[in-house]
Structure 1
Amino acid sequence: IIFTAGLLGKALGATLSHKNLDTNSNLLRDVCRRGSESHGLALIPLFHAFGASVNLLGTLKAGGTVYLVEKVDFPVIIPWIQEARITYTGLVPMVYYGLLYHPACRDLDLSSLDIAISGGAPLSMEIYEKFCDRYHIDVYHGYGLTEASPVVSWNNINIPNKPETVGRPIPDVMIEVHDAEGKSLPVGVEGEVVVKGPNVMLGYFGRPQETQTVIRNGWLYTGDLGRLDEDGYLTLTGLKKDLIITSGFNVYCQEVEEILIRHPQIADVALIGVDDLMRGQVIHALVVPEKGAQPDEREIIRFCKEYLSRYKCPRKVILVKEITRDNHGKAAAWK
């Protein structure tokens, strides 16, 4: 059971079966042709579905060696990354940014690395191109979610890499794009991404109603928007759910807004995601002050940190007079 913010914006335990994890952990062995010579670097925490299923179980199942680290501290880990001659790793975009720009990586030799995977958040084309150019290795972008154990699709060594996409479905997994009525849409048309296959979770632990909401007729409704091309590659175009992905972590706006609105000087609040080269997006809070109040940005952020993990807290507070919302409750305009 891996707890996640869930597709419904609240803490839920995704129940992953032996078959679920077995399906995803086969990726390294079957798709990447990994074996006992593989040296995998596990920088993604093992409580994360990708860290557990692919980085750990996948490498061990292939007979390889997994190198675990306590935290991402480049000056500490860079020397033994080179000594261990790492051949495979799956990382979030923020780490690829660090491998390019952190001073400890100035003379880094990654010539042993032949499989580099990016997931958890969109990898900007700028970072992708600079990493490939500097280290002379391709990066394979994929897509997944905890409820799918987690990998759903992936650019990989057996198919042409389309880095602007998140690849094709992994073996035995089907992807469709559905409209609001649950009907399959044709190639090139945007809709909700739905997934079916042996990677789809059994359900949310002890929450049958929530399970039935996201798994319908065998299809897992992801809440992500996308479209398929004529070759079966998936491109993600947005989020149906009110969600911000920062540094590979999912942050549901409603959870944070419910905390901030308790602040005595805040009359209304809405979160927005602002593009950031390193983190993918950063969280900004639009705040309408109570009449006559003059809230302090630092004090509001400190207030938020009392109740939530640091990655969920806004990095900037913007004072506005009014927030206009769309039909889904998201901030559409402000002044």
Structure 2
Amino acid sequence: MLNLSIVLEDSARNAPDRAALVFGDMRLPYSMVNTVANQVANLLVSRGVGKGDKVAVMSPNVPYFPFVYFGALKVGATVVPLNVLLQPREIAYHLTDSDAKVLFAFEGTPELPLGERGKAGFEEVPGCEHFIVLPATPLATESALGETFWAALGGMSGEFETVQTSPDDTAVIIYTSGTTGQPKGAELTHQNLLINAMVSDEMFPRTEGGDVYLTVLPLFHIFGLTVMLNAGFRRRASLVLMPRFEPGEALGLMHKEGVTLFAGVPTMYWGLLTKIHAEGVEAPKELRVAVAGGAASPVEVLKDWEKTFGFGILEGYGLSETSPVASFNQLERPTKPGSIGFPIWGVEMKLVDADWQTVEGEGPGEIAIRGHNIMKGYYKRPEATAEVMNDGWFRTGDIATRDDEGYYYIIDRAKDMIIRGGFNVYPRELEEVLMTHPAVSLAAVVGVPHDSHGEEIKAYVIPAAGVSVSEEELIAWARENMAAYKYPRQVEFRESFPMTASGKILKRELR
């Protein structure tokens, strides 16, 4: 018997009064979160949902997410977290592809009408039987969109005996962003996610008196789900929920709630530092651990953070298919800025070529991973699974080098690599160089089609405040600082970049 809901149940037993969730003025103790999750479990059973059924949830970082997530796990169901930015057609695709029986959808706001989109998507999928609205007004029992969460829970018992699941049962199907073709659902087991949460938790020392996590990474994304929710609940931390990242508000919450651990993607760190420097905001005092993943952090951001906060950002690496944490800069060995560290406990990594042959020495090669964190496979897609799996190894599509101490350095996504006139150009390397220019705040480099070279190199730049540079000057500077085949021939200034809900720069929209 192994059920991931133990990370909540154990904390509710041993620290019932500790705040599990902090949201605005609400402070919900572990005992209450567990009771509501039990009510959700009883509701699901009453609707004929049980072991192996799929329960979709579409919610930002508000208390409903953990309620539904743990309630579904308790009945042995598989949770399918959906990105809150999906449109009706995409919601219908995910519900159909995952065979979801239920959709819990947050009502949303006029700016982000999640509920309406969720309802529209649900109505296109005959196999999805139940639609439950998570109302924006706390405890509301009515919604124009249909049955609400609180009305459905009426009369449901707060006691529930968790269904026995085996380590290899699927706990979560997480959809990969689908940069190529349709999104695929990675099947992650109870064991995948529980061990990943345990190893993630044990990498950092606990704070006397308890930890407080600023939880702004979306919980529907595997990084937030494992590192914040699963590991945080196992640690009995208080999760301060933040539905949308805004640097000023994040710094305010860090001060107010005494946040000890922050995990974010590089653009969030860039936003926090930009705010601190622009407005002279004080750096939060209680913060002790900063974790970055999701994309490579620019070295300039890492340096600036260490100078401002007095401690470094710990970078890690993983994918939806690896539950996600695969490697990390861990505290028992020195941190190397710009590196994704070395494999976590119980995980192996190596570099391979296109034919799965092992690449010795420093590489470059494609990262392959084997261990307790590797998904069962892509749901209902044996061919796609076979393409990326071989003898227990999973190939990631990320190109990296490795130093003599076993630390890995991501060069780039294999698919982001630009081939210009036969030369391989890695955008990340050029972005790092561009960001050392005083007039460049953030850079994103992409390949654009070109008649004779195949691809030409273009840089999108968010300018730094108070320093000006023209496109021509920046190109000339780049020419002096980069090899002739590498420097960007085109520069375009932007006020902002298109980003995913988890804060990654969407290069395909820049192209």
Shift of 1:185: 1.8
Higher RCO (CA-CA < 8 Å; seq separation 6+) = 1
Q: Relative to 1, partners in 2 of residues 1:105 and 1:38: Cα closer, same or farther, differing over 3 Å?
A: farther
Q: Name the counterpart of 1:202.
A: 376
CA distance in 1, matches of 2:179, 2:189: 19
Of residues 82, 93, 96, the one that matches 2:269 is: 96
Unaligned 5+ segments in structure 1 are 245-271, 289-304, 318-335
In the TM superposition, what is the alpha-carbon distance from 1:144 to its structure 2 partner? 0.9
Provide the identity percentage. Answer: 29
Q: Select the structure of larger CA radius of gyration.
A: 2
Judging by fraction of residues, say which structure has more helix. 2
How many Å apart are 1:109 and its aligned residue? Answer: 2.8
Distance in 2, matches of 1:66 and 1:184, equals 41
CA distance in 1, matches of 2:180, 2:321: 12
Change (3 A) 1:169 1:7: farther
In the superposition, relative to structure 1, how do residues 283 and 314 fare at CA in structure 2: closer, same or farther (>3 Å)? farther
Report whether the alignment pairs 1:27 with 2:190: no
Following superposition of structure 1 onto structure 2, how do residues 274-289 of structure 1 map, counting pairs within 5 Å?
275=431, 281=444, 286=449
Measured at CA, do residues 6 and 149 of structure 1 come closer, stay the same or move farther in structure 2, by a change above 3 Å? farther
Within 2, Cα distance between the matches of 1:161 and 1:155?
5
What's the counterpart of residue 251 of structure 2? 78
Question: AA paired with 2:286?
Answer: S
CA distance change for structure 1 residues 243 and 93 in 2, over 3 Å: closer, same or farther?
Answer: same
Alignment correspondent of 2:367: 193
> What is the deviation of 1:208?
1.0
- Gapped regions of structure 2 (runs ≥ 5): 1-172, 419-426, 436-440, 452-497, 499-503
Are residue 215 (structure 1) and residue 378 (structure 2) matched? no
Q: Which amino acid aligns with 1:205?
A: Y
Quote the offset at 1:41 in angstroms: 1.1
Distance 2:399 2:509 in 1: 26
| TM-aligned CA distance change 1:28 to 1:5, over 3 Å | closer
Report the CA distance shift for 1:42/1:27 in structure 2 as closer, same or farther (over 3 A). farther
Pick aligned residue for 2:302 from 117, 128, 146: 128
Deviations 1:99-123 (A, max 9, x none): 1112686323322111101111111
Give, as a single letter, the amino acid of the residue that structure 1 aligns with 2:222.
A
The total of aligned residue pairs comes to: 270
TM-score (norm 1): 0.73
Q: Is the 8 A contact 2:444 2:507 kept in 1?
A: no
Q: 1:58 aligns with which of 210, 231, 239?
A: 231
Write out the 4+ residue segments of structure 1 that deviate beyond 3 Å after TM superposition.
Answer: 6-10, 272-280, 282-288, 310-317
Partner of 2:287: 113
Instruction: Measure how far apart 1:239 and its partner are.
Output: 2.6
Aligned residue runs from structure 1 range 1-335, under 5 A: 1-6=173-178, 9-34=181-206, 37-102=210-275, 106-242=280-416, 275=431, 281=444, 286=449, 312=506
Q: Secondary structure at the match of 1:133?
A: helix
SS at match of 1:16: strand
Structure 1 residue 81 displacement after superposition: 1.6
